[in-house]
Structure 1
Amino acid sequence: MTIAPSAPPRSAVTDAPGRVRARRTVPVAVALVAASLPMFMATLDNLVMTTALPVLRTELSASLEQLQWMVNAYTLSFASLMIAAATLGDRFGRRRVFVIGITVFALASIASALSSSAEMLIAARALQGAGAAAVMPLSLTLLAGAVPAARRAMAIGIWGAVSGLGVALGPVIGGAVVDGISWEAIFWINVPVAIVAIPLVRWALPESHGRRQSLDVLGLVLAGTGVLSLVWAIIRGNDDGWGSARVVGGMALGLALLAGFLLREQRTDHPLVPLRLFRVRSFSIANASALAFSIGVFGVVFLLSQFLQIGLGYTPLEAGVRTLPWTAAPMLVAPVAGMLAPRIGVRPLLASGLALQALGLAWQGLLVGQGGVVYVDLVPGLAMAGIGMGLTFAPSATAVLADMAPDDHGTASSVNATIREIGGALGIAVLVAVFQAAGGTLTPEGYAAGLEPAAYVAAAIVGLGALVTLWMPRSTGRVVPSTTV
């Protein structure tokens, strides 16, 4: 049983049928940087805006709904196009599509920085998400093909740590840049990163191809519009009324489109998401737990980063720094989890990691609900959530690929990343809806009233994810040392 993607022979790589070129020997550390730097940039922008949201609300006269779309336009575009990007990478060259994604991401970052209205920023963020869609899934596949099999588990562990770090440090870096320069600078910083990353990727990561198949455009449209319709309906629920024709109709349309997507995937010869992958228990459980994780964590990060400013009076930088008990833990824990997975399997790591996160989220809700909370009271809960995140990232990536055939690695990775991004968008929509329904407002007096029940709901969802992981096969991710008879 493998725990990571298998690589082609180290001596050569095939660019096209009948044509083989020699592969340059590249240090593992260089390959790691080449694959991880663009991925870090893409994951960072998931939440880099969170500490800037109160500033954007003032400078762009944005409503709470527009603030949600500034984040969700990125995540939904990211999620909807990720599998399509992986399919195009398999067909036309993974490195080629990877570089195109970096370029689109950088250009969209420039457009975001130049936005003068909330609507312009939302549109630019959607384009930015399209670029990220080509970066995130292909980075893992390219890394797996660039490192020796003996060091691949370690490389995936580090990659998982960097991925988690990008998500976790978003509020910190965003707060520092907004406080020290301006909100526009959180997008300008992507440009020099892209300028460095593109030549490094072309030098360090060999080109590779996967199974060549047609792109399921109809499936892409059905899935993308279905999720968009559901998220839109949830966001509009409190304002329009949960029984209103617009909200009920939006949810019904979304569910119908997603049902149509599943039927399409069963009948087409070239499905966007091969449903046969979900017959593999480790893959299904890993994705179910990833969905629960994303819904709970992304939604609370969106709300908590603003609570530190609106409710406790910190500046964007001060708020970002105070998330460090949550964000710094994965830097230490994720590499250790990546090294432990081959010895003990991923199930105990995922179950304990999600359980700790659920406890951390519940801790925050409990203290906020008591009133008069000060920052130091939140630290134990933030630390529990951070340690839990560190135990989750690398084992989750390992579980997704553990029992997959090599030709399915790109698709499997893309499906997992897509589910996590959809979970993030749903998490923000659902928890903000809970926040508003409980009477939460963007004022110092009203914020805690909405944050308390939202944190409890998030804790329950993540806790459910921890229970789901108990159905993960015990052997998933474990490597049994071979013996010579």
Structure 2
Amino acid sequence: MSVAATPQFKPVTDRPWAALMALCVGFFMILVDMTIVAVAQPEIMEALDAGDAIIWVSSAYLLTYAVPLLIAGRLGDKYGPKLIYQIGLVVFTASSVWCGLSGSITELIIARAVQGIGAALITPQTMALITRTFPPAKRGAAMGVWGIVAGVATMVGPLLGGILTDSLGWEWIFFINLPVGLIGLVLAALLVPTVDTHDHRFDWIGMVLSGIGLTAIVFGVQEGQSYDWALWIWLLIAAGIVVMGLFVLWEGYTRTEALVPLKLFKDRNFSLANIGITTMGFAVSGMMIPLMFFLQLVGGMSPTRSALMLIPMAVLSGALAPVIGRVLDRVHPRNVISLSLLGYGLGTFWAGAIMAPQTPVWQLLLPTILMGVCQAGIWAPLAATATRNLPMRDAGAGAGIYNTTRVMGSVVGTAAIGALMLNRLAAQSIPFEQGEDSAVRQLPAFIRDGFATAMGESLYLAGAMLLVGAAATLFLQRPRHQGPGGLAETEVIPVDEVDEADEADEVGAAES
């Protein structure tokens, strides 16, 4: 005897695609903001006399984005993802205005930190609501739309950032979030459904441990070069690793609801997808800094022209994302994800190898085209594979964990690649402060070769991490809701498996 494959799934809206479009406004705004800032960093560095503190404009945002993500997922489960999403939009939009009004690099970094908190409240709610509004068999297509949004944001962000920076000034890359945020709030109120909530306790000890550990690691990696890798820097990094170890032990020991339910990692796909997205976050966030500095300081490009270099990558990613989303529901996920991570890694090595003042623009575009094709097979497919087997009551926690690992990868990637960039510049006897008085102009010819070499070598670390992700995702399994023949085999499952799943959920609820 058999029943429908998703007997526990109950539709919460008859307009799931409209709800998804509304949620994508906030997701779009977060991604645009990250790419806009990357393009404008040389201009900000000059305007605010920032020096190497400019790296913290990205790192502060990513750090405060990463730390609250876990509890933000739980907040969505407890109070409703719609409410937390709306609060996040308010915080993000208001802090964006503050960023634009900042008169010093210190104030801008603080405002970016608050902006990261808003982003943390928004992000897990989008994935959790996709899980709650779409049945497993359609989540691949829904995540495909999510991937289109990511691709379009990747395209619009740098281009819009370049245009705004060139015409109105860097402040407007933040002011532009005000109308987008207001539109997002209206659409969320009208289209996003209110879903059932689950009462959860909050693991404050776990949150404190994760915050301390991650902050120590990131600060140590970020500032190591500035302090000549003194002993106390290494001790700080080691202490952060120890605290993160204690965090994991605490999560396994706690008898209340853990901030990170370790039981979710029993699902192989969830665990491996988290490894894959960590390496992707590490590479993509970290590589933007040396890439933009190369195009503007060595290539002499304006912020707008340097942003245009990313258009082919973004167009290909956005165009292919829906196709990959439909394919993912029918094929083994490792065939798409592992190959895409491998291709993206090879494209990154390729880009680093050809970074030189004499390289023609058309040659620089070739690796970005490869990366655009591969990117379509990474973002949405990884997210769909990670969440497809999760029970509904842990949708927020699962989304929080997944996005935390992604952002942790971005935090460490930005810090590590930024530190490597400074190290390679030092090896070329080029002080980073060289660019302060010429942040938006081409560097003198006699130092361009060394600067380009340092930027290219910085990309190799990103490529190496992507190869790690490709190796890990080779071991992905076919999702439980997908048989060998694809969607046609997802219609039924045995009743005893459903009853067993129901019983497991009841036991989990009782333990909570």
Question: Fold match, TM over 0.5?
Answer: yes
* Alignment counterpart, residue 340 of structure 1, candidates 312, 316, 327: 327
Q: Would you say 1:277 and 2:264 are equivalent positions?
A: yes
SS of aligned partner of 1:241? coil
Q: Would you say 1:363 and 2:359 are equivalent positions?
A: no
8 Å contact from structure 1 (residues 6, 406) kept in 2: no
What one-letter code is carried by the residue in structure 1 that aligns with 2:10?
A: P
Give CA deviations for 1:340-393 in whole Å, capped at 9, x if unaligned. 10111211111111111111111111111x652232111111111111111111
Aligned to 1:9: 10
What one-letter code is carried by the residue in structure 1 that aligns with 2:239?
A: L
Structure 1 residues 334-483: aligned runs within 5 Å? 334-368=321-355, 372-439=358-425, 441=430, 442=432, 443=435, 444=443, 445=448, 446-475=450-479, 478=482, 479-482=486-489
* Alignment counterpart, residue 179 of structure 1, candidates 123, 147, 166: 166
Q: Would you say 1:94 and 2:98 are equivalent positions?
A: no
Give CA deviations for 1:181-225 in whole Å, capped at 9, x if unaligned. 211111111111111111211111111244321111111111112
Displacement of 1:260 after TM fit? Answer: 1.6
What one-letter code is carried by the residue in structure 1 that aligns with 2:424?
A: A
> Using the alignment, how far apart are the partners of 1:337 and 1:109 within structure 2?
33
> Using the alignment, how far apart are the partners of 1:104 and 1:298 within structure 2?
23
8 Å contact from structure 1 (residues 233, 247) kept in 2: yes
Residues 7 and 392 of structure 1, relative CA distance in 2, 3 Å threshold: farther
Displacement of 1:33 after TM fit? Answer: 1.7
> Using the alignment, how far apart are the partners of 1:150 and 1:480 within structure 2?
7
Q: Which moved more, 1:97-106 or 1:448-457?
A: 448-457
SS of aligned partner of 2:32? helix
Displacement of 1:325 after TM fit? Answer: 2.2
Give CA deviations for 1:303-350 in whole Å, capped at 9, x if unaligned. 102211111000001110111122222111111111110111211111
> Using the alignment, how far apart are the partners of 2:225 and 2:328 within structure 1?
43
TM, length-normalised to structure 1: 0.91
Aligned to 2:60: 73
Structure 1 residues 235-384: aligned runs within 5 Å? 235-242=222-229, 244-268=230-254, 269-368=256-355, 372-384=358-370
Displacement of 1:477 after TM fit? Answer: 7.1
> Using the alignment, how far apart are the partners of 1:423 and 1:477 within structure 2?
29
> Using the alignment, how far apart are the partners of 2:265 and 2:479 within structure 1?
18
Displacement of 1:8 after TM fit? Answer: 5.2
Displacement of 1:430 after TM fit? Answer: 1.0
TM, length-normalised to structure 2: 0.86
Residues 239 and 173 of structure 1, relative CA distance in 2, 3 Å threshold: same
8 Å contact from structure 1 (residues 79, 421) kept in 2: yes
- Residue ranges of structure 1 left out of the alignment (5+ in a row): 14-22
Structure 1 residues 92-241: aligned runs within 5 Å? 92-147=79-134, 151-167=138-154, 169-241=156-228
8 Å contact from structure 1 (residues 346, 476) kept in 2: no
> Using the alignment, how far apart are the partners of 2:43 and 2:6 within structure 1?
43
> Using the alignment, how far apart are the partners of 1:89 and 1:220 within structure 2?
16
> Using the alignment, how far apart are the partners of 2:455 and 2:424 within structure 1?
9
Aligned to 1:58: 46
What one-letter code is carried by the residue in structure 1 that aligns with 2:158?
A: P
Q: Which moved more, 1:451-460 or 1:339-348?
A: 451-460
What one-letter code is carried by the residue in structure 1 that aligns with 2:269?
A: S
> Using the alignment, how far apart are the partners of 1:305 and 1:467 within structure 2?
29
> Using the alignment, how far apart are the partners of 1:460 and 1:283 within structure 2?
22
8 Å contact from structure 1 (residues 7, 149) kept in 2: no
* Alignment counterpart, residue 36 of structure 2, candidates 38, 43, 48: 48
> Using the alignment, how far apart are the partners of 2:425 and 2:366 within structure 1?
27
> Using the alignment, how far apart are the partners of 2:225 and 2:138 within structure 1?
51
- Residue ranges of structure 2 left out of the alignment (5+ in a row): 436-442, 493-512
Q: Which moved more, 1:122-131 or 1:247-256?
A: 247-256
Pairwise CA RMSD of aligned residues? Answer: 2.2
What one-letter code is carried by the residue in structure 1 that aligns with 2:361?
A: Y
Displacement of 1:140 after TM fit? Answer: 2.2
Residues 477 and 429 of structure 1, relative CA distance in 2, 3 Å threshold: farther
SS of aligned partner of 1:238? coil
8 Å contact from structure 2 (residues 140, 381) kept in 1: no
Residues 111 and 470 of structure 1, relative CA distance in 2, 3 Å threshold: same
Residues 7 and 30 of structure 1, relative CA distance in 2, 3 Å threshold: farther
Displacement of 1:153 after TM fit? Answer: 3.2
Give CA deviations for 1:40-92 in whole Å, capped at 9, x if unaligned. 1112222220110110011000022x211101111111111112111111111
What one-letter code is carried by the residue in structure 2 that aligns with 1:59?
A: A
Displacement of 1:171 after TM fit? Answer: 2.3
> Using the alignment, how far apart are the partners of 1:475 and 1:405 within structure 2?
13
Count residues in correspondence.
466
Displacement of 1:401 after TM fit? Answer: 0.8
> Using the alignment, how far apart are the partners of 2:7 and 2:76 within structure 1?
17
8 Å contact from structure 1 (residues 108, 128) kept in 2: yes
Q: Which moved more, 1:390-399 or 1:161-170?
A: 161-170
Displacement of 1:280 after TM fit? Answer: 1.2
Displacement of 1:169 after TM fit? Answer: 4.1
> Using the alignment, how far apart are the partners of 1:270 and 1:158 within structure 2?
33
> Using the alignment, how far apart are the partners of 1:156 and 1:5 within structure 2?
18
* Alignment counterpart, residue 32 of structure 1, candidates 20, 27, 32: 20
